[in-house]
Amino acid sequence: MSDTASARPRVLFVSANESAPWGPSETNWALAAAEWLRRGAEVHASVKGWEEVPGELAALEQAGCVVHRRWDLPPFDARPIAELPWSERRTSTLHQVRPDFVVVSQGDNYEGLGWLEECARLGYPYVAYANSASEYEWCTDDVARRLAAGYHGARASFFVSESNRELTERQVGEALPNARVVRCHFKVDYTAAPPWPAGDTPVRLACLARLDPNSKGHDVLFDVLAMPKWRARPVTLSLYGAGEYEQVLRALRDRLDLRNVEFAGYVKDIEDVWRTHHALVLCSRAEGLPTVIIEAMLCGRPVVVSDVAGNAELLTDGETGFVAAGPVAACLDEALERAWQRRAEWPAIGRRAAEAVREQMPPDPIALLVDQFEELAA
């Protein structure tokens, strides 16, 4: 352990993500790492090595974070996702850094298991942070037992929604007394108040999500818009985001002849989206608590979401948004129909949403998260 822990803690952020150079789950730990750097900590990060260097990671390195890249080449990267990377068995980042505190960031609620076990085995204090959980991904008995032990051994287990916490407890078969629910970042100003879009026709819906129907359910949304009644209505849908499923989603759109659906690409200025769109629609199959819901509500826009993970935790159905019972076409159609019949009320619903989300979301959730990390590290 560091001899100067009381003066300048040595912290290691582990990104257990091995599937892509960057993703939504990366942003939370990267922002927390940057915040702790500003507070004077010595910050390290372990990430999978990629030829592409994401801009957020480059900025973190430039700010002073020491980044340790894991280079796993075939056949070593064919290991089960929850196991410790083979590169760590050859050269241990934990031994290199000798951290006072470790934050294990998981995209899902199980993929950091190998890291949790390694921290426990070597005696490094750690916390587990899960960005998502899925009802469709359960671990086998032996892995679930190990995962429960990994969570129990953490100084705290963080989840981005109450639903993710509850689902994780079901999936490991045990209560997690050290569990904490925290709020994630958002990319609009806390005081954002873009004006209501000029003109109410057509009704302009926006879906802001990476192009991944496995978790985001774009296909369900397409099926609803392909219904005769929705074809006959003046409504458009803009898909904001990028991903590896864009071409198949474009093909599905064309096959269904959805001429009112546009692929708008990735955007950084989220507030600008809400200057021209009336409502968010999101039919997720697996989530944490999407930042796009927080952002839409902060901007005073109604949201229509599937009741999955934390999607509905900030909402009151019929008051500040509309909740579909599940990520299937019949449920989404029912919720969207209720919203459509009350579209004249959308500005008022959006104002209530803006008030409600500010009662539940702090202005700087990342600073509060690092406050908790510092407390636990001490």
Percent of the chain exceeding pLDDT 70 equals 97
Q: 232: Cβ–Cβ under 8 A, 6 or more apart, which residues?
A: none
Torsion region of 91: left, alpha or beta (phi above 0 gives left; psi -120 to 50 gives alpha): beta
How sure is the predictor about 1, in pLDDT bands with cuts at 50, 70 and 90?
very low
Instruction: Supply the pLDDT for residue 76.
Output: 55
Nearest Cα to 139, choosing from 166, 98, 109, 171? 171
Give the 3-state secondary structure of residue 141.
helix
Amino acid 75: pLDDT: 58
How far from 274 is each of 195, 197, 224, CA to CA, in Å?
Answer: 8, 8, 23
Rounded CA separation 252/332 (Å): 18
Instruction: Break the chain into its structural domains and give their ranges.
Output: 10-183+363-377, 203-360
pLDDT per residue as tens digits for the range 218-235: 999 999 999 999 999 999
- Cα–Cα distance, 205 to 301 (Å, whole number): 10
- Each residue's pLDDT tens digit, 279-324: 999 999 988 889 999 999 999 999 999 998 888 999 999 999 999 9
Give the residue ranges of DSSP H helices in the chain.
24-38, 55-63, 86-90, 93-97, 113-122, 141-152, 162-172, 213-216, 218-225, 228-231, 246-255, 270-273, 291-298, 329-341, 346-360, 365-377
The tally of CA atoms less than 13 A away on the side-chain side of residue 312 is: 19
Please indicate whether residue 73 or residue 143 has the higher confidence score (pLDDT).
Answer: 143
What are the tens digits of pLDDT across the range 61-104?
A: 999 999 999 987 665 556 788 899 988 988 999 999 999 999 99
For domain 203-360, the question of CATH label 3.40.1160.10 is answered with: no
pLDDT in tens, 28-60: 999 999 999 999 999 999 999 998 899 999 999
Q: Are 178 and 155 in contact (CB under 8 A)?
A: yes
The interaxial angle of helices 346-360 and 291-298, nearest 10 deg, is 120
- Give me the pLDDT at residue 161, please: 92
| Summary mean pLDDT of the chain | 93
Structural tokens at position 194 = 């873009």
**Which secondary structure element, helix H or strand E, spans residue 43, and what is its range?**
strand 42-48
- Does residue 284 contact residue 324 with C-beta atoms inside 8 Å? no
Cβ atoms of 315 and 163 within 8 Å: the answer is no
What pLDDT shows up at residue 200?
80
List residues bridging with 303 in a β-sheet.
Answer: 280
Q: Which residue has the higher pLDDT, 377 or 78?
A: 377
Q: Region 102-107: what's the mean pLDDT? A: 96
Cβ atoms of 43 and 13 closer than 8 Å: yes
What is the distance between the alpha carbons of residues 171 and 358, in angstroms, rounded to a whole number? 32
Indicate if the pLDDT at residue 6 is higher than 70. Answer: no
How do residues 157-166 score in pLDDT, each as one tens digit? 999 999 999 9
Q: What gap in Å lies between CA 358 and CA 354, rounded to an integer?
A: 6
Helices (H), 182-309: 213-216, 218-225, 228-231, 246-255, 270-273, 291-298
> 10-183+363-377 belongs to which CATH class?
alpha beta
> What does the pLDDT average to over 320-332?
96
- Amino acid making up residue 55: G
Q: For the beta carbon of residue 313, count every other beta carbon within 10 angstroms.
A: 16
Q: What is the pLDDT of residue 89?
A: 86
pLDDT at 288: 86
Return all residues near 298 (Cβ < 8 A) that are at least 6 apart. Answer: 186, 188, 189, 190, 192, 354, 357, 358, 361
Backbone torsions φ then ψ of 131, nearest 5 degrees? -95, -10
What is the DSSP track for 56-115?
HHHHHHHHT-EEEEE---TTGGGS-TTSPPHHHHHS-HHHHH--SEEEEEESSSSTTHHH
Q: Do domains 10-183+363-377 and 203-360 have the same CATH topology?
A: yes
pLDDT single digits (tens) 244-270: 999 999 999 999 999 999 999 999 999
Q: For position 24, what pLDDT does the model report? A: 77
In terms of Cα–Cα distance, which of 227, 286, 236, 285 is closest to 256?
227
Q: Can you tell me the mean pLDDT for 341-355?
A: 97
